[in-house]
C-alpha cells in the first residue's frame, strides 16, 4: 500500500546494479522459485512464487475485498515481483524483500493467522479469507502485465477518489506511458476517503522550522501562517506549497505533516492549520478501493487492470 516512500533511494540502488552488471534477460516461469529477504532477520528464504503471493496479497489488500479485486492484486503483485527480479533491484543474493517501504509487504501463513486472530476474526472468517487468497492466486497462475513485451512497473495504492495520478507529476518527472491519470470510481464509505490533520500555529511553525527552514517564524502570536498552494498536478492534486518564502513539494508535505495523500485543501481557522485530505497513497497505478468498487460492478480482474494501466497487455506465461 505504501510502496514507494523510498523511491529515490531505491532508484539509485537500481542504477548501481544496472551499471555493475548487464541486466539479465531471465526467463521467468509461472512456478518460479524466488528468494525473499526477510528484512528483520536478514534471512533469505526460497519459495514458489505462488506461496509468496499468498503471503503478499492479504498483507497489501483487505481479504474481505471482492474476488476480482483480489485477483487483480495477485497479478499486480506477481508482475511487480518479476519486474524486480529482471531489474535485479534487490541485489545479487535475493529477488525481493518483505519491507513494504522498499518492495511489498509479505507475511507467512502463521503470522497472518496471528494478525487476523489479533483483530478478533473468527476461525471461520480466517479460513474463508485464506481460501479466498488461495483462489485468487490459483485462478491467475502465470498471469502478468506487460507493456511492449516488458513487465510493467506495477505501482498501486489504497485510494484515489475520482482520478489517479500521472507518474510524471512525482518522483522526478519521468513519463511512463501506462502510468497516466485515469478515472477511479470508489466507495463513498471507505474510511480514509476523507481525513483531516489539524495543527496549532505553534506546532505548525515548529514542524516547518524542523523540516523546511530553521529561520521560519509566524509573525505575531495569533497571526495565521503565510501558506498557499503553489501549483497543481495534472490530476488536480497538490504539486507544491509555498510556506513563507519556501516552496515545499506535496510529497514532502505528506511526510512532514503525516497526510494520507497529496490531494488536500488547506485552511487557517480558529488558530489552526487544517488539512482536509482526500484518498490514501501516492495515487499512481491501480487504486485498491477502486479495484474493489469495479469488482463489485462485475468488472473482471483483467478489465480492472487494463483500466488502471493504460494500454497494457494481460498475458499468461507457462
Ligand atoms: Zn526490497
CA of 230 to the centre of ligand 1 (A): 34
- In this structure, the answer to whether residues 24 and 115 fall within a common structural domain is yes
- In this structure, the answer to whether residues 302 and 164 fall within a common structural domain is yes
First-last CA distance in the chain? 28
What single-letter DSSP state applies at residue 3?
Answer: T
Phi and psi at 293, nearest 5°, equal: -65, -50
Residue 163: predicted pLDDT: 96
Structural domain tally of the chain?
Answer: 2
Q: What is the pLDDT of residues 110-142, one digit of tens each?
A: 999 999 999 999 999 999 999 999 999 999 999
Domain-embedded: residue 1? no
3-state secondary structure of 8: helix
Domain-embedded: residue 2? no
CA of 46 to the centre of ligand 1 (A): 15
- In this structure, the answer to whether residues 63 and 201 fall within a common structural domain is no
- In this structure, the answer to whether residues 230 and 296 fall within a common structural domain is no
CA of 90 to the centre of ligand 1 (A): 5
- In this structure, the answer to whether residues 166 and 231 fall within a common structural domain is no
- In this structure, the answer to whether residues 137 and 203 fall within a common structural domain is no
**Alpha-carbon distance 204 to 114, whole Å?**
39
**pLDDT of residue 67 exceeding 50:** yes
Domain-embedded: residue 298? yes
Task: For residue 275, count CB atoms less than 10 angstroms from its CB and return exposed for 0-12, middle for 13-18, buried for 19 or more.
Answer: buried
Is the pTM higher than 0.75? The answer reads yes
- In this structure, the answer to whether residues 30 and 152 fall within a common structural domain is yes
C-alpha cell at 158: 489504497
Phi and psi at 178, nearest 5°, equal: -90, -5
- In this structure, the answer to whether residues 124 and 38 fall within a common structural domain is yes
- In this structure, the answer to whether residues 167 and 309 fall within a common structural domain is yes
Residue 219: predicted pLDDT: 75
- In this structure, the answer to whether residues 159 and 199 fall within a common structural domain is no
Residue 224: predicted pLDDT: 74
> Could you tell me if 273 and 204 are in contact, meaning their C-beta atoms sit under 8 angstroms apart?
yes
CA of 99 to the centre of ligand 1 (A): 6
Domain-embedded: residue 258? yes
Residues 27-49 have a mean pLDDT of 94
Q: What DSSP element (H or E) covers 18?
A: helix 7-20
Residues 67-94 have a mean pLDDT of 95
- In this structure, the answer to whether residues 111 and 239 fall within a common structural domain is no
CA of 33 to the centre of ligand 1 (A): 17
Looking at the chain, list the stretches that DSSP marks H as alpha helix, in order from N- to C-terminal side.
Answer: 7-20, 49-60, 67-87, 109-118, 123-138, 201-211, 250-257, 288-296, 301-308
C-alpha cell at 255: 511526510
Q: What is the pLDDT of residues 214-261, one digit of tens each?
A: 999 887 666 777 888 999 998 999 999 999 889 999 999 999 999 999
Residues 43-57 have a mean pLDDT of 97
CA of 177 to the centre of ligand 1 (A): 24
Q: What is the pLDDT of residues 166-190, one digit of tens each?
A: 999 998 889 999 999 999 999 999 9
Domain residues for the domain of 217 are 194-278
**pLDDT of residue 13 exceeding 60:** no
CA of 157 to the centre of ligand 1 (A): 17
**Alpha-carbon distance 39 to 100, whole Å?**
10
- In this structure, the answer to whether residues 65 and 137 fall within a common structural domain is yes
Phi and psi at 248, nearest 5°, equal: -120, 125
CA of 101 to the centre of ligand 1 (A): 8
Residue 111: predicted pLDDT: 95
Amino acid at each position: 500500500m505504501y510502496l514507494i516512500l523510498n523511491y529515490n533511494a531505491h532508484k539509485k540502488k537500481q542504477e548501481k546494479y544496472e551499471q555493475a552488471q548487464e541486466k539479465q534477460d531471465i526467463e521467468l516461469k509461472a512456478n518460479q522459485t524466488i528468494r525473499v529477504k526477510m528484512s528483520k532477520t536478514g534471512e533469505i528464504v526460497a519459495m514458489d512464487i505462488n506461496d509468496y503471493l499468498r503471503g503478499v496479497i492479504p498483507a497489501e489488500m483487505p481479504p474481505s475485498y471482492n474476488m476480482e479485486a483480489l485477483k487483480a492484486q495477485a497479478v499486480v503483485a506477481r508482475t511487480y515481483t518479476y519486474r524486480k527480479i529482471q531489474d535485479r533491484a534487490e541485489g545479487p543474493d535475493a529477488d525481493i524483500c518483505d519491507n513494504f517501504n522498499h518492495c511489498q509487504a509479505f507475511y507467512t501463513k502463521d503470522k497472518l493467522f496471528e494478525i487476523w486472530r489479533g483483530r478478533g476474526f473468527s476461525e471461520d472468517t480466517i479460513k474463508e479469507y485464506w481460501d479466498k487468497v488461495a483462489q485468487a492466486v490459483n485462478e491467475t497462475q502465470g498471469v502478468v502485465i506487460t507493456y511492449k513485451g516488458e513487465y510493467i512497473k506495477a505501482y498501486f495504492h489504497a485510494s484515489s477518489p475520482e482520478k489517479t495520478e500521472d507518474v510524471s507529476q512525482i518522483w522526478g518527472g519521468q513519463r511512463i506511458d501506462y502510468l497516466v491519470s485515469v478515472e477511479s470510481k470508489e466507495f463513498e464509505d471507505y474510511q480514509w476517503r476523507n481525513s483531516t490533520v489539524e495543527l496549532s500555529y505553534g506546532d505548525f511553525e515548529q514542524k516547518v522550522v524542523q523540516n523546511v527552514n530553521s529561520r521560519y517564524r509566524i509573525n505575531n502570536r495569533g497571526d495565521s501562517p503565510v501558506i498557499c498552494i503553489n501549483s497543481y498536478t495534472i490530476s488536480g492534486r497538490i504539486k507544491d506549497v509555498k510556506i513563507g518564502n519556501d516552496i515545499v513539494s506535496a510529497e514532502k508535505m505528506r511526510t512532514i505533516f503525516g497526510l494520507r495523500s497529496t490531494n488536500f485543501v488547506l485552511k487557517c481557522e480558529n488558530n489552526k492549520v487544517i488539512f482536509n485530505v482526500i484518498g490514501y497513497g501516492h495515487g499512481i497505478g491501480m487504486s485498491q478501493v477502486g479495484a474493489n468498487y469495479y469488482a463489485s460492478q462485475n468488472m473482471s480482474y483483467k478489465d480492472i487492470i487494463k483500466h488502471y494501466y493504460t494500454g497494457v497487455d494481460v498475458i499468461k506465461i507457462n
